[in-house]
Structure 1
Amino acid sequence: MSDAFDMSGLRSWIGRTRVVEDDISLAAVRRIAGMLDQDPDSYRRGSALPPHWFGMFFADVARQSAIGPDGHARKGEFLPPIPLPRRMGAGRRARLHGVLHVGDDAAKVIEVAGIEPKQARTGLIVVLTMRQTINARGKVIAVDEFDAIYREAVPPGTQSTATTPIPAPADEAWSDPVLLDPVLVFRYSAVTWNGHRIHYDADYAREAEGYPGVVQNGGLTMQLMLEAAMKRAPGPLLGFTARLRRPLFVGQTARFCGRAPEGGRMACWVAAPDGSLAAEMELEFAA
């Protein structure tokens, strides 16, 4: 597998770091609150933010001339030059040590933590793991590891193959139906400065990547899972793990479900319209 391309060159990226600074501005916070259907005016300078909002700041801002054909920054700009054309989020593991406040001068240290080629049922993939450490007010706020999967191109005119569907659990204690509204997806992409064309360009999604339509943003799916779970939180959030199983598509209505908290933990998941498991998450809370 690793002979398919120069893994030694790619692995030289492991351990590389860079820093993205951000001021946690009132305007940005209010845009996020409005996007998540909260009262924007409930936030003021100095307000503590929900602990799971840290991932919606610190965007990579590439020059327009550095954008690749998929809407991301070209490989080698911010991320390793993995020579597979299709990139999708796969999962996260986060530990929370504090919260951001409106007005913080904060920074995210980004480290290339792993690059691993694998032979999947759908062909060669490479899993890229990025470790992100959020700092503010002289202390660590969160450590977040994010996995992205790079995949081979699909032949023109063919559909992207997905993993074999797994039925979503049927023992939920709560369930929230959520319309994956195109305006919500647009607003999330704007807030996070995500230009990936599969999230707004239906022709590109179908013709270049083999999807049946515009793809729901996986980061938004995870954020909505967190929002749903935090409505039932038994205590302060300490961390979470998440995995994206199958793509969802804009315009669908998905069910965000979960079990009652037990022993400081809560399991939640997303059921696609066909009843398959689209995403899952486990959250850990302080007593």
Structure 2
Amino acid sequence: MDRQGDVIDPARAAAMLAILGRAQDIEAGAQMPPFFHQLYFWDARPTQELGRDGHPRTGIGLIPDMGLPRRMWAGGRLRFHAPLVSGVAAEKRSAVETTNRKSGRSGPLAFVTLRHEIWQAGALCVTEWQDLVYRQDPEKGQPRPALPNAPMGEEQATDVTFDTTMLFRYSALTFNGHRIHYDERYAREVEGYDGLVVHGPLLAQLLMLMAQDALGPLRGFSFRATAPLLHHETATLCRKGHALWVRGPDGRQCMQAEAEV
């Protein structure tokens, strides 16, 4: 098990609220919004320990080398046991829960599930399961898989836009070096996207805040990325009851989620 300590700095939380366009009313002693633990416990590896994509190389840290170059955050599940408090030291305990390999329509796939526990003042505050998928580079001319259509009939909808500055600031604040979020040439020429990719956790964060604003404090939240959203696209955050999703401008579903209160 890997252990990291950090102080839940209110200034970092205020910076995230600024990125999200929310009031920066976080002070020491305040309860943190859900999922804000992602701003802390940076894995600051030396440059020589990074892979071509800007992430820490697999096989030298917690994540084993699965032999495939492309990494994606496929989804996750969270349990909120108690709110984190800003200005107080905390510890993150991480372990690999499962690894698996299988063949998909686009070739071999590898799946890694990490379990993170966030502890503060001797109490477990958050348990998070992070699902990662690794795959081959796309072949030129290879047909793209059909993307799922997003549901309609939501009771709440909010349009959101992204730009390169927002993606860069979010990457910096979460210490996410993945080049698909800020290096457009790499995203297009190496990983085969049509532009910069909006972070899956950023979309999940927006959905969590939408759910909490509408339903009250969250006990749990699960999400799954189903299609990439690009930085030049307008997306719609949707909610119907406890179900949430992100709809792209062409009607595709980019993420689906479920809130528990």
TM over 0.5: yes
Structure 1 distance, partners of 2:203, 2:252, is: 15
Show the counterpart of 1:31.
15
Do residues 245 (structure 1) and 226 (structure 2) align?
yes
Query: What pairs up with 1:53-202 in 2 under 5 angstroms?
Result: 53-78=36-61, 79-155=63-139, 158=140, 162-202=144-184
Structure 2 distance, partners of 1:221, 1:163, is: 22
Show the counterpart of 1:50.
33
Structure 1 distance, partners of 2:126, 2:142, is: 35
Q: Secondary structure at the match of 2:14?
A: helix
Code of the residue aligned with 1:251 in structure 2: it is H
Match of 2:201 among 172, 196, 219: 219
Structure 2 distance, partners of 1:150, 1:173, is: 35
Identity %: 36
On the 8 A contact 1:159/1:212 being kept in 2, the answer is no
Per-residue CA deviation, residues 124-180 of structure 1 (Å, 9 max, x unaligned), is: 10011000011001100010001011001223xx26765422211111001100002
Q: Give the TM-score normalised by the residue count of structure 1.
A: 0.87
Structure 2 distance, partners of 1:162, 1:226, is: 30
Per-residue CA deviation, residues 103-137 of structure 1 (Å, 9 max, x unaligned), is: 11101111001111111111110011000011001
**Greater CA drift, 30-39 or 104-113:** 30-39
Code of the residue aligned with 1:243 in structure 2: it is R
How many angstroms does 1:251 deviate by? 1.3
Structure 1 distance, partners of 2:141, 2:237, is: 27
Do residues 209 (structure 1) and 191 (structure 2) align?
yes
On the 8 A contact 1:201/1:214 being kept in 2, the answer is yes
Structure 2 distance, partners of 1:159, 1:188, is: 32
Question: Structure 1's 154 and 142: CA in aligned 2 closer, same or farther, altered over 3 A?
Answer: same
On the 8 A contact 2:34/2:209 being kept in 1, the answer is no
Code of the residue aligned with 2:129 in structure 1: it is E
Show the counterpart of 2:5.
21
The root-mean-square deviation of aligned C-alpha atoms, in Å, is 1.4
On the 8 A contact 1:255/1:270 being kept in 2, the answer is yes
Structure 2 distance, partners of 1:51, 1:232, is: 14
Show the counterpart of 1:281.
257
Question: Structure 1's 183 and 32: CA in aligned 2 closer, same or farther, altered over 3 A?
Answer: same
Structure 2 distance, partners of 1:70, 1:284, is: 34
Q: Secondary structure at the match of 1:237?
A: coil
Q: Secondary structure at the match of 2:35?
A: helix
On the 8 A contact 1:86/1:150 being kept in 2, the answer is yes
Q: How many residues align?
A: 260
When Rg is computed on C-alpha atoms for both structures, the one with the higher figure is 1
On the 8 A contact 1:270/1:279 being kept in 2, the answer is yes
Q: Give the TM-score normalised by the residue count of structure 2.
A: 0.95
Question: Structure 1's 229 and 175: CA in aligned 2 closer, same or farther, altered over 3 A?
Answer: same
Q: Gaps (5+ residues) in structure 1?
A: 1-16
On the 8 A contact 2:13/2:39 being kept in 1, the answer is no
Question: Structure 1's 37 and 120: CA in aligned 2 closer, same or farther, altered over 3 A?
Answer: same
